Structure 1
């Protein structure tokens, strides 16, 4: 699973037999993880932020378990993707126009 270098959002829903996530971990690019309808043992670890599964993924940048409705989750995921795209675009434009880097990156982060 760590070979998915551009994976930023992962939504796992209605997988009641899913007790754990990949042993080799998830990519460090992952910003949003949503679990719903998985095995209670897995969900409890993320909900209470303890246990072996939680410890494996707590190190990810902004990864969290969202116990919200799917509609709310999609809105959050869209915001994360949009924010990351703006930061990435800002970084790319600053490489093309180094003199404008401060102005372009600050406007996207506000």
Structure 2
């Protein structure tokens, strides 16, 4: 569903990689919304894509979860994206988490 996304930052090229577990969470959320409304599913997809663009543009923008991870809220939906960055300017999405989930369920990823 997702492939690595490249975006240009002023100092370098950045790459966003969506981990397998995050991919599965995203797919489950899209399926849930699609079963209720195709428009809601499309809106969710667009909102997640916008969040990914914000992360690529400014990875430091997200709120710190701990020393290594940050999160951004998916605007208009009760989801958050948990991610971490690496020295090579890549960013790994760890979770696409519903806000009602236990806050640290993704820590072992």
With normalisation by structure 2, the TM-score equals: 0.32
More strand by share: 2
With normalisation by structure 1, the TM-score equals: 0.32
More helix by share: 1
Ranked by relative contact order (alpha carbons within 8 Å, sequence separation 6 or more), the top structure is 2
